[in-house]
Amino acid sequence: MADRPSAALAAVDRALADARTASYDAAWAMPGAFYTDPVVLAAELDYLFHRQWICVGRVEEVASPGDFMAVDIGNEPVVVIRGVDGTLRALSNVCRHRAMPLAAGKGNAGKGLLCPYHHWSYDTTGRLLGTPRLGARPDFAIADCRLPAFALEEWLGFIFVCLDATAAPLAPVLSELEERIRPYHFEQTRLRYVADEVWLCNWKHLVENFMEGYHLSTLHRETLHKVNPTRLCRHFPPGDGYFGYYAGFDPSLPRGQKGHPDLRPEQYDDCVMFAIPPGLLVGGAADYSSFLCVQPAGIDRVRVKLGLIFYGEDWPEATVDWAVRLFQDTMAEDKTVLNELGRGVRSGHYRPGPLAGPDFEGPVLDFFRYLARHLPALSTPF
Ligand code: FES
């Protein structure tokens, strides 16, 4: 019994190594421990969420000076705040006094952040301004104290933060993907729906689910199947920092006409589904697009920000409401399955099955390969 946990992790290591070399037609699902073992989660936090570029939302959420949103990146409290100078920053959301998180949720902080505990105050760049009743001390200089700042990049209207000061810039890694999707001009879209939720599943199950079209015509028989049937899915080659596929629109449906003029006619025929791992998932289309920002909140909990962005201004409320309902209904169908997968992968009798071909579950293999490239060996101390 004593060596069973490491045996399970060794099986995960072998499966990840196999994923790196497997062809799309000979790839397999992952062992249960990949989704249930706390050692895997610890490695994911350390090597992915605390080191890679993590998408936390859209620029429209923090559009005006003083606007902020508090986010956890892995285990790290961060506040994304637009300064009174108009610059967007990612600051540590931990008070320099006794570690109270400064901001919660979203809002406008005016000229700065005020700690709710003892009212230390900071300006919108993170500089400490006030320390009530502290008095002058020879061993502490207010002028030298500030909230640590993290790297932040805006990419097509998405906000990415990286906790690792040594990380390479994000945009160059995404240049090939950007070439592919540039005509959609996601940076010119408008956020019309956003919600923060916690789902009861492992975060990787949500990534895999959003990024494969195999289940569109089965699980979503009454919803997405009528729009994006499985038979019209087409995988596209992944890059180092992205992967994805096209989900074709059913030919019998009328095509939207509201997209950017740069779009080619055939781009109205597909939804471009792409992931920027570990956590951003986008279902991009000419007229409106969905996105998910995914982060683990435990081995069987995932924090997810769900949003819809629309190109152009002249969208009737009724059409937006219809799109929101379709999105919510689809996500609810996904949630019913994903909330059950945790029980399945804990079964002592589960053995991983073969993945369907590249057009259907190819992005799942791309995700496994991304993880294999970035995670250390899990069955030995890291
Ligand atoms: Fe923030 Fe004390 S913990 S002022």
In a domain? residue 128: yes
In a domain? residue 334: yes
Q: Are residues 308 and 219 in the same domain?
A: yes
Q: Are residues 77 and 186 in the same domain?
A: no
Type of residue numbered 233: C
In a domain? residue 31: no
Residue 350 phi/psi, 5° resolution? -75, 130
Q: Are residues 181 and 213 in the same domain?
A: yes
> Within 13 A of 345's CA, how many CA atoms are on the CB side?
25
Residue 268 and residue 251 in contact, taking contact as beta carbons nearer than 8 Å? no
Q: Are residues 213 and 325 in the same domain?
A: yes
Closest C-alpha to ligand 1, atom 4: 118
Q: Are residues 259 and 191 in the same domain?
A: yes
CATH number at residue 126: 2.102.10.10
Instruction: In whole angstroms, give the CA distance from residue 191 to residue 38.
Output: 35
Average pLDDT value for residue range 254-266: 87
User: Ligand 1, closest atom to CA 95?
Assistant: 1
User: Ligand 1, closest atom to CA 115?
Assistant: 1
At residue 309 the predicted structure's pLDDT band, cuts being 50, 70 and 90, is very high
pLDDT of residue 381: 82
In a domain? residue 10: no
At residue 168 the predicted structure's pLDDT band, cuts being 50, 70 and 90, is very high
In the listed set 135, 162, 189, which residue is the last one of a domain according to the structure?
A: 162
In a domain? residue 380: no
Q: Are residues 158 and 181 in the same domain?
A: no
User: Quick check: 257 pLDDT over 90?
Assistant: no
Residue 259 phi/psi, 5° resolution? -75, 175
User: Quick check: 1 pLDDT over 50?
Assistant: no
In a domain? residue 24: no
Cβ-based neighbours of 319, under 8 Å, separated by 6 or more: none
Count Cβ atoms below 10 Å from residue 149 Cβ, excluding itself: 14
> Within 13 A of 105's CA, how many CA atoms are on the CB side?
4
Cβ-based neighbours of 364, under 8 Å, separated by 6 or more: 27, 29, 208, 211, 212, 355
Per DSSP, the three-state class of 290 is strand
pLDDT of residue 4: 54
> Within 13 A of 192's CA, how many CA atoms are on the CB side?
26
Instruction: In whole angstroms, give the CA distance from residue 82 to residue 109.
Output: 9
Closest C-alpha to ligand 1, atom 2: 118
In the listed set 137, 162, 187, which residue is the last one of a domain according to the structure?
A: 162
When divided into structural domains, the chain yields a total of 2
Q: Are residues 207 and 271 in the same domain?
A: yes
Whole-prediction pTM = 0.96
Pseudo-torsion of CA 185, 183, 295, 164, nearest 10°?
-80
Closest C-alpha to ligand 1, atom 3: 98
Residue 364 phi/psi, 5° resolution? -65, -45
pLDDT > 90 in the chain, percent: 94
Pseudo-torsion of CA 52, 56, 59, 60, nearest 10°?
170
Q: How far is the CA of 116 from the centre of ligand 1 (A)?
A: 7
Type of residue numbered 229: P
Q: How far is CA 304 from the centre of its chain?
A: 7
pLDDT of residue 165: 96
Q: In the structure, which protein residues have their CB atom closer than 6 angstroms to any atom of ligand 1? A: 95, 97-98, 100, 115, 117-118, 120
In the listed set 103, 137, 162, which residue is the last one of a domain according to the structure?
A: 162
In a domain? residue 303: yes
Instruction: In whole angstroms, give the CA distance from residue 259 to residue 186.
Output: 10
Q: How far is the CA of 102 from the centre of ligand 1 (A)?
A: 8
Q: How far is CA 167 from the centre of its chain?
A: 18
> Within 13 A of 42's CA, how many CA atoms are on the CB side?
10
97-153 per-position pLDDT tens digit: 999 999 999 999 999 999 999 999 999 999 999 999 999 999 999 999 999 999 999
Angle (nearest 5°) at CA 246 between 168 and 153 = 25
User: Ligand 1, closest atom to CA 102?
Assistant: 1
Instruction: In whole angstroms, give the CA distance from residue 381 to residue 92.
Output: 29
Q: 368: domain range?
A: 175-374
329-367 per-position pLDDT tens digit: 999 999 999 999 999 999 999 999 999 999 999 999 999
The residues with which 284 forms a beta bridge, in sequence order, are 272
Q: Are residues 270 and 358 in the same domain?
A: yes
